[in-house]
A and B are shown apart, each in its own frame.
Chain A
Amino acid sequence: MTATTNEPSPQVQTKEPVLQATGLVKTYGHVVALDGVDLELYPGEVLGVIGDNGAGKSTLIKCLSGAESPNGGTILLDGQPVHFRTPLDARTHGIETVYQTLAVAPSLDIAGNLFLGRETRLPGPLGSVLRMLDGNGMRKRAKEQMTSLGIGTLQNMGQAVESLSGGQRQAVAVARAAAFSSKVIILDEPTAALGVRESAQVLKLIESIRERGLPVILISHNMPQVFEVADRIHIQRLGKRAAVVSPKTISMSDAVAVMTGALKVAPEQEVAGQV
């Protein structure tokens, strides 16, 4: 597979990767899901990850988000080796993941969902003795967060999430990730459960996150969406990285051809670093 050579060309690579995986291996019994995958994520970029079913996209993401432990290979976060045993591990390292299943608590309000599992208490004895939550403070910060992400349609932070549309719920989940992530946001098929307009809202959100400088890994089946927002596209095939391409220089049909193995990308067509 010629495509896996990725000598970084010095004129494009200007920064160190935030997240770097090298030679990741994951096997389930004698099924090899990941067969030495490399992945680099640079500051402030949106990295699309595409691949056919069974190519190892999900397993790759699970290894990066702590849901699975790889059998081999290394993961470097800011150049430091890390080993995630649980999703909570990854989260304390600043990696937040948004799942396709609209993982919110419907009966809680927007602020409650944003701070779910990370609630802040009132200062003084009300907080330390009575364990009272700082409801107003959390609503205020939730509001700031939503405004800064451009989710202006959600005004009332006391609104129950169950009264929101699917796209708005996903917006809450993405906002939660953006609020607490310090390093990386992973979006696993964030639009799979959404309609066309709602998906457009989520894609806009991804752009707001990039504008903040946070790097995003976007896993999707939806090629047009990936081509719309990604700076670079990691193509996964048969448990390996087939190529990293730029959506500007490759056509969608060529990308599909790489995914299915009908086309191999010449090394000079690959994009190694920051675009």
Chain B
Amino acid sequence: MSKVSEAPHSSYDAAEEFLGHRTPAQRVQTTLHRYPWLSPAIVLILSVIVFSFLNENFASPNNLSLITQQVAVVGALAVGQTLIILTAGIDLSCGAIMVFSSMVMAKTAFDSGLPGWLAIILGLIVGGLAGAFNGLLVTKVRLPPFIVTLGTLNIFIALTLLYATGRTIRDTELAAGLNWLGETFTIGEVRVTVGVVVMLVMYAVFAFVLKYTAWGRHVYAVGDDAEAARLAGIRVQRVLMSVYVTAGTLFALTGWILIGRVNAASPNSGIDANLDSITAVVIGGTSLFGGRGTVLGSLIGALIVGVFRNGLTLAGLDVYYQTLAVGILVILAVSVDQWIRRARA
């Protein structure tokens, strides 16, 4: 029996008719909505062009090499941060986990003569455990990620300082392999550090994982609407836990890059990198509300910050203007995100 009366005129036809006559602004909005990394990519290209005109040294091989090295640590940190922000979380403790892990790598090798590779694995495990601690507090104790990581930020800083007893492990004291990521090779005339390559590999791996695996889709689904994901049969708590552990391990890997970058392991370096990584993710078009964004965007976001800082320095502007510029970029990026989100309606 088919008693349902035909709708006189399907609303979808009407909607499609309407969609056919969109204003240019709506088209831009829809395109940006579909490719969240597109607007930061445009900003990056424009800023590179502008800075190249402002100062002839900007595009020199040496300077480009410098920018990649300056970006490596924050860029690598932003991979794990993107994963967490995609689940509608945030990690303020990422810099502290990075430094803590780098101290574990350097000091266990220094104190007990552990081979470098084993010390690195130990550091990665410590990072994973630190992430698991955050994850447990988020999934089991059900605290907001902001509060959890605000607490563990301080805890991990304290642990780092207690463990290191305030002492830096200098380059001559580093075990073999620990500063390997600081070594360079040249592509054309540009010197590239191994650390930059590791960062790029991290981006490639997680761009793939997020796009082509079930886990990646579940990360987006959980960040989008955790309740809907649960009703669809996704084990939300398990996905969240895996994201925090993965991110913690990635922060520890960044700790290894950090040792190579500064050629030492210092308990005081890079603790403020947490806000820089969030800045890179947000400028890269990933939404703080979760479920929307890409790791590619975060790489572009980190590069934008690096290019602005470097370009403004070369243009002879005071360092305070760099900070001002970064602040304006963040607010612009979030405004664009809000505008794009309205394309949903």
Contacts and interface: CB of A to CB of B under 8 A. Distances in A.
Main secondary structure of the interface of A (DSSP, over half): mixed
B292 interface: yes
A162 B344 contact: yes
A206 to B, nearest CB: 8
A91 B214 contact: no
B221 A200 contact: no
Contacts of A88: 233
Contact of A165 (B15, B212, B215, B227): B15
A231 B1 CA distance: 9
Interface string B1-25: 1111101001111011000000000
B213 A104 contact: no
Contacts of A70: none
A198 interface: yes
Nearest to B214: A119
Contacts of A76: none
Nearest to B291: A107
A87 B231 contact: yes
A81 to B, nearest CB: 24
Contacts of B308: none
Most chain A CB neighbours (cut-off 10 Å) among B5, B12, B16? B12
A117 B232 contact: yes
Interface of B is mostly: helix
Contact of B12 (A112, A168, A231): A168
Size band of the interface chain B makes with A: 35 or more
A168 B225 CA distance: 18
A105 B212 contact: no
Contacts of A130: 208, 212
Contacts of B231: 87, 97, 99, 101, 103
Most-contacted residue by chain A among B10, B208, B215 (CB, 10 A): B10
Contact of A105 (B208, B291, B344): B291
Given A198-B11, A204-B4, A105 B232 contact: yes
A105 B221 contact: yes
A224 B214 CA distance: 41
B234 interface: yes
B229 interface: yes
Contacts of A181: none
Given A105-B221, A108-B221, A197-B7, A117 B234 contact: yes
Interface of B: 1-5, 7, 10-13, 15-16, 30, 34, 208, 212-215, 217-218, 220-221, 224-225, 227-229, 231-234, 291-292, 343-344
